[in-house]
A and B are shown apart, each in its own frame.
Chain A
Amino acid sequence: MRIPLAALIGLIFTALFFGAALFAPLIAPYGMAEIVGDVWEPPSDRFPLGTDSIGRDLLSRLVYGGQTTIFIATAATALSFVVGSVLGFFAAVSGGWIDQTLSRFIDLIMSIPTLIFALVVLSVTPTKIPILIVLMGLLDSTRVYRLARAVAVDITVMDYVEAARLRGEGTLWIIFRETLPNALSPLIAEMGLRFIFAVLFVSTLSFLGLGVQPPQADWGGIVKENKEGINYGIQAALYPAYAIALLCISINLVADWILGRTTSLKGGRG
């Protein structure tokens, strides 16, 4: 199997990010919340990226922050895909009033700006990571629902779905065996995109102080803690931004490649 160069680059960087997240304690030179130097020290041999606003090692913060951010984004994306696509397929396969009720309810939720909705919910619930994940996952699942339903509506009118219905197959078979394999390509492309949005979303929440709580690190939190430094020409707040951008590009390179492979009608064996 030949992997195109772009996909290979994406794959390497994605693997690096996820590897760093998994093995954070082994990679980070210092502890996450350990104060090891002066405020905003410039990069040096001891601190490759310098120190942050209260003298913690920035590289360690970034690695641990990546762990938190990537974990939350991954879990939220997975949740949104399971909930969104199953509901979307169910609506498309059932049709009629079930479809109408579900779709209008989803429209209702989507009409409220996501960030405002999240801020309101988080202001009354304790800001713990599981709650963050569930909230983000459910909010994002509305988008996935829309896509999954749109794709599935086109599939459910195909003759092979009608043939399955005439055979007497149940809804579950039609959803998982007839619809899902054919809807996978656009969903996977969407998954890359949604993962990135999830990274941005959790970073935004943390930046606003409603996401991951200090002293735990995450990329949005690191920007928040170091934002004053920008006034003094200190780069600390920009490193997490670079990390987000790089992760975003790599994930999409990989998603594009997977999309190309799964579009193959030979089951991707090629």
Chain B
Amino acid sequence: MTEPLLKVRGLRIGATIHPPGEKSRHIDIVHGVDFDLAPGRVLGLIGESGAGKSTIGLAAMAYGRGGVRITGGTVTLNGRDILSTPFRDVRRLRGGEVTYVSQSAAASFNPAKQIMEQVTEAAIFQGKFTRKEAEDRAIALFRKLGLPGPDTIGSRYPHQVSGGQLQRCMTALALCPQPDLVVFDEPTTALDVTTQIDVLAAIKEAIRDTGVAALYITHDLAVVAQVADDIMVLQQGRMVEMGTTDQIINAPKEDYTRALVSVRSITHDEKTPTQTPVLSVTDITARYSGTDFDVLKDITVDLHPGQTLAVVGESGSGKSTLARVITGLLPPSAGQITFAGRPLSPDLAARSKTDLRELQMIYQIADTAMNPRQTVGTIIGRPLEFYFGLRGAEKQRRIQELLDAIELGKGFQDRYPAELSGGQKQRVCIARALAAEPRLIICDEVTSALDPLVADGILKLLLSLQKSEDMAYLFITHDLATVRAIADSIAVMYQGRVLRYGPKSQALSPPFDDYTDLLLSSVPEMRLGWLEDVLDSRKMESGGN
């Protein structure tokens, strides 16, 4: 066997945390991880947030982010221990032998410089190529990555290209100095599914053609299965399992890996629509003040009691705006909304307390949806006090009931949101909505910010609450797997219009319109070769037409 390009032995990484009001203390983030990476291979690092995958990725560049220190072990790159290398030599290493692709290209590019200058900077700085050579390489990479106008795109500024294109520019940036190793840190996580598939394909092809080795970090097993040769599963800084992609996906050994592979396996049988919908949105058109562009155009959907309507679309399709219109935050310019048989006033200020109570909302980011300076008891208790006038012991009893309903036990009442985990926070937000005893809850991307296993738990909770409390959900999401799991009917939105609307079975079966087809086929599936299959079938279609 050839000598590995990257050899990591007993890697320990720690950080000093400074909890407010307490003594600073040392915590371990990574507890001794070993792995090898052969030249030209791609290793996927997978795990939930806090698993230490990004930290390990950066350690391969001898870097610790924000106070993180590498406290033990060795990292050997090209036969050299890079952790004991003096800083001057580490500078030659970064951007030369090993490069990095970050999650948010938009935040990583300097907005004041042209793309070409940034893409070629490292290659020229490291003295690997002259400016002319580097620019030729960059253009070749732009072409390989399928960027439009590869000869001229370099002269644009970062804000002049789309998010998916910028992410590909960043891949070109990482490959330009001809490194031996590229660290991809969640390169497609911030992108829409329809964009993700193109970027993924471009990255995969570029890796294959340049023969570079890569660490591919992501929380999405279905994505990494398309790109990686081997996968390492991490949990809380420890390795759970490592194997070939085929083995991890098809024959996982550990329970944790099995759970990750089988995530999103919730099945939900569609309910038939009832006679009278709880919410009817009729011909809604809306625009933000000061613009001359309709964000929503002639939206008509119905939602039946105790059922779930999933509104699907990519970012910018107007799905969150629809929620704002229904909640009354953005009065529509035309159309009307009927809620529980009553016409709903377009303006929030004119709505009755009953209307406000029966229509609740849960947000994507639970952190910002709760006042950080109120305890869980206050957060859940306020709607009880406000809508039902509950006080004292009765209020406490009801709060505990709600905490039980969201499967949080005793002792949570006095906690502040900062003392909860991501999933617990979202549960508290659900309890707050539940406290109002609503007929309809608008769920705006409620699981998008959560790890897959936690998201699964939230979805299960929502489904069981729907059964017991008979509430309707308007479920806004970009994630089709979630839709399959919970929806009774589906509305697909694109550029402010509803392209497709109907019961789940009908909406998700052919014949499809072009956009729905694209959307459906872009959702990564947890099997090997999915990416190739999709791309092949698309090529055939476009060739055939």
Instruction: Determine the residue in chain A with the shortest Cβ distance to B20.
Output: A264
A3 interface contact, C-beta 8 A: no
B370 pairs with A261, CB closer than 8 A: no
Instruction: Determine the residue in chain A with the shortest Cβ distance to B328.
Output: A166
B412 interface contact, C-beta 8 A: no
Stretch touching chain A among B155-163, B339-347, B361-369: B361-369
B20 pairs with A160, CB closer than 8 A: no
Q: 1/0 contact trace for A157-172 toward B, CB 8 Å?
A: 0111011011111000
Known: A168-B353, A267-B373. A159 touches B386 (CB 8 A): no
Bound-state CA distance A263–B365 (Å) is 21
B372 pairs with A265, CB closer than 8 A: yes
Known: A163-B361, A167-B356. A264 touches B370 (CB 8 A): no
B348 pairs with A165, CB closer than 8 A: yes
Q: 1/0 contact trace for B21-35 toward A, CB 8 Å?
A: 110000000000000
The interface residues of chain B lying within 8 Å CB-to-CB of A270 are 19-22
Known: A264-B20, A265-B418, A270-B20. A166 touches B372 (CB 8 A): no
A-contacting residues, B409-443, CB 8 Å: 416-419, 432, 436
Q: 1/0 contact trace for A244-269 toward B, CB 8 Å?
A: 00000000000000001101111111
B502 interface contact, C-beta 8 A: no
A182 interface contact, C-beta 8 A: yes
Instruction: Determine the residue in chain B with the shortest Cβ distance to A184.
Output: B373
A181 interface contact, C-beta 8 A: yes
A178 interface contact, C-beta 8 A: yes
The interface residues of chain A lying within 8 Å CB-to-CB of B372 are 182, 265
The interface residues of chain A lying within 8 Å CB-to-CB of B375 are 267
B382 interface contact, C-beta 8 A: yes
Q: 1/0 contact trace for B174-194 toward A, CB 8 Å?
A: 000000000000000000000
Known: A162-B329, A166-B348, A270-B21. A265 touches B368 (CB 8 A): no
B369 pairs with A163, CB closer than 8 A: yes
Bound-state CA distance A265–B18 (Å) is 13
B386 pairs with A167, CB closer than 8 A: yes
Most buried by B among A178, A265, A269, A270: A265
A166 pairs with B356, CB closer than 8 A: yes
**What is the size, in residues, of chain A's interface with B at 8 Å between Cβ atoms?**
24
Bound-state CA distance A160–B361 (Å) is 11
Cβ-neighbour of A159 out of B365, B373, B374 (below 8 A): B365
**What is the size, in residues, of chain B's interface with A at 8 Å between Cβ atoms?**
34
Instruction: Determine the residue in chain B with the shortest Cβ distance to A268.
Output: B21
Bound-state CA distance A265–B22 (Å) is 12
Most buried by A among B357, B361, B369, B373: B373
Cβ-neighbour of B382 out of A167, A264, A266 (below 8 A): A167
Cβ-neighbour of A181 out of B365, B371, B382, B436 (below 8 A): B371
Cβ-neighbour of A265 out of B20, B351, B363, B383 (below 8 A): B20
Closest CB of chain A to B235's CB: distance in Å?
27
Closest CB of chain B to A159's CB: distance in Å?
4
Closest CB of chain B to A86's CB: distance in Å?
18
Closest CB of chain B to A254's CB: distance in Å?
17
Bound-state CA distance A264–B493 (Å) is 42
Bound-state CA distance A23–B510 (Å) is 87
Known: A166-B361, A167-B386. A266 touches B20 (CB 8 A): yes
Instruction: Determine the residue in chain B with the shortest Cβ distance to A180.
Output: B373
Closest CB of chain B to A180's CB: distance in Å?
9
B386 pairs with A166, CB closer than 8 A: no
The interface residues of chain A lying within 8 Å CB-to-CB of B373 are 181-182, 265, 267
Instruction: Determine the residue in chain B with the shortest Cβ distance to A1.
Output: B21
A-B contact pairs, 27 of them (CB 8 A): A159-B365, A160-B369, A162-B329, A163-B432, A165-B329, A166-B360, A167-B356, A167-B383, A167-B436, A168-B351, A168-B386, A169-B386, A177-B371, A181-B371, A181-B374, A182-B372, A261-B21, A264-B20, A264-B21, A265-B373, A266-B21, A266-B418, A267-B373, A267-B416, A268-B21, A270-B20, A270-B21
Known: A168-B353, A177-B374, A181-B373. 19 other contacts (CB 8 A): A159-B368, A159-B369, A165-B348, A166-B348, A166-B361, A167-B386, A167-B387, A168-B357, A177-B371, A181-B371, A181-B374, A260-B20, A261-B20, A265-B372, A266-B21, A267-B375, A268-B21, A269-B21, A270-B20
Q: Which 7 A-B pairs have the closest CB atoms?
A: A270-B21, A264-B20, A265-B418, A181-B373, A159-B369, A168-B356, A159-B368
